[in-house]
Structure 1
Amino acid sequence: MHHIVENQRNFFNTNTTKNLQFRLTQLDKLYSVLKNNEQALYDAIYKDFKKSEFDTYTSELALIFHDIKDAKRNIYKWARRKKVRTNLMNFPGKSYIIKEPLGVCLVIGAWNYPYQLSLSPVVAALAAGNTVILKPSELPAHSSKVMATLINKTFDPKILKVVEGGVPETTELLEQDFDKIFFTGSTRVGRIVYEAAAKNLTPVTLELGGKSPAFITKDCNLKITVKRLVWAKFLNAGQTCIAPDYVFVEKAIEQNFMEAIKAEIEKEQFAFENNNYVQIINDKNFERLEKMIVPDKVAYGGSTNAPERYIQPTILHKVTFNDPSMQEEIFGPILPVLSYTTLQEAIERSRQLPKPLSAYIFTGSKKNREEVLQQLSFGGGAVNDAVMHISNPKLPFGGVGHSGIGSYHGKAGFDGFSHKKSILHRATWLELPLKYFPHSASKLKWIKRLMKLQ
Structure 2
Amino acid sequence: MEDQILEILALQKTALLRLSTSSAEERIAKLRKIESYLLLHKEELCDVMYQDFKKPASEVVIAEMLGVKREINHTIKHLKSWMKPASVSTPLMLLGTKGLVQYEAKGLCLIISPWNYPFNLSICPLVHAIAAGNAVILKPSELTPNTSSFIKKMISSLFDKSEVAVFEGDATVSTFLLEQKFDHIFFTGSPAIGKVVMAAAAKHLTSVTLELGGKSPAIVGPDVNVEEAAAKISWGKFLNNGQTCIAPDYLYVHEKNYFSFLQALEASVETFYGSNVAKSKDYARIVNRRHFDRIASLLEDAKEKGAQVLFGGITDADDCYISPTVLTNCTPDMRILQEEIFGPILPIMSFKDEFQITADIRSGDKPLALYVFSTNTEFNNYILNNTSSGTSVVNDCLIQFGHNELPFGGVNHSGIGKSGGHYGFVEFSNQKSVVIQRTNLLKNFYPPYSVKVRWMIDFVLKWL
Q: Does 1:326 align with 2:337?
A: yes
CA contact (8 A) 1:355 1:403 kept: yes
The 2-side partners of 1:3 and 1:448 are apart by 59
Q: Does 1:11 align with 2:22?
A: no
Match of 2:458 among 444, 448, 452: 448
Structure 1 range deviating more: 437-446 or 151-160: 437-446
Counterpart residue identity of residue 168, structure 2 = E
Per the alignment, in what secondary structure is the counterpart of residue 105 of structure 1?
Answer: strand
What are the superposed Cα offsets for residues 300-341 of structure 1, whole Å, 9 maximum, x if unpaired? 110101111100100000111111211200000000001111
Q: CA 1:70/1:4 → structure 2, altered by over 3 Å: closer, same or farther?
A: same
CA contact (8 A) 1:33 1:151 kept: no
Q: Does 1:366 align with 2:374?
A: no
- Map of 2:433 onto structure 1: 422
- 1:450 deviates by 3.6
Task: Map 1:142-161 to 2 at 5 A.
Answer: 142-161=146-165
- Map of 1:388 onto structure 2: 399
- 1:236 deviates by 0.3
CA contact (8 A) 1:219 1:364 kept: yes
Per the alignment, in what secondary structure is the counterpart of residue 18 of structure 1?
Answer: coil
CA contact (8 A) 2:419 2:427 kept: yes
User: Structure 2-normalised TM-score?
Assistant: 0.95
Counterpart residue identity of residue 109, structure 1 = S
CA contact (8 A) 1:108 1:135 kept: yes
- Map of 1:164 onto structure 2: 168
Match of 1:107 among 111, 123, 135: 111
The 1-side partners of 2:19 and 2:127 are apart by 19
- Map of 2:189 onto structure 1: 185
- Map of 1:223 onto structure 2: 227
Q: Does 1:435 align with 2:445?
A: yes
The 2-side partners of 1:432 and 1:137 are apart by 56
Q: Does 1:240 align with 2:244?
A: yes
What are the superposed Cα offsets for residues 99-142 of structure 1, whole Å, 9 maximum, x if unpaired? 11110110110100000111100001101111111100110110
Per the alignment, in what secondary structure is the counterpart of residue 165 of structure 2?
Answer: strand
Per the alignment, in what secondary structure is the counterpart of residue 156 of structure 1?
Answer: coil
Task: Map 1:341-380 to 2 at 5 A.
Answer: 341-380=352-391
The 1-side partners of 2:310 and 2:21 are apart by 56
Per the alignment, in what secondary structure is the counterpart of residue 346 of structure 2?
Answer: strand
- Map of 1:305 onto structure 2: 316
Q: Does 1:94 align with 2:105?
A: no
- 1:223 deviates by 1.2
- Map of 2:32 onto structure 1: 28
Structure 1 range deviating more: 77-86 or 209-218: 77-86
- 1:363 deviates by 0.7
Match of 1:274 among 275, 280, 287: 280
Structure 1 range deviating more: 9-18 or 199-208: 9-18
Q: CA 1:348/1:106 → structure 2, altered by over 3 Å: closer, same or farther?
A: same
Structure 1 range deviating more: 54-63 or 264-273: 264-273
* Structure 2 unpaired stretches of 5+: none
CA contact (8 A) 2:114 2:189 kept: yes
Computed over aligned residues only, the root mean square deviation of the Cα atoms, in angstroms, reads 1.4
- 1:434 deviates by 2.4
Q: CA 1:364/1:63 → structure 2, altered by over 3 Å: closer, same or farther?
A: same
What are the superposed Cα offsets for residues 198-254 of structure 1, whole Å, 9 maximum, x if unpaired? 001000000000000001111111111001000000000100000000001111221
CA contact (8 A) 2:246 2:398 kept: yes
The 1-side partners of 2:283 and 2:461 are apart by 64
The 2-side partners of 1:395 and 1:427 are apart by 37
- 1:87 deviates by 2.2
- 1:431 deviates by 4.8
Q: Does 1:289 align with 2:289?
A: no
Counterpart residue identity of residue 449, structure 1 = F
Q: Does 1:67 align with 2:71?
A: yes
CA contact (8 A) 1:358 1:379 kept: yes
**Count of aligned pairs:** 453
- Map of 1:315 onto structure 2: 326
Structure 1 range deviating more: 204-213 or 26-35: 26-35
- 1:273 deviates by 4.5
Per the alignment, in what secondary structure is the counterpart of residue 13 of structure 1?
Answer: helix
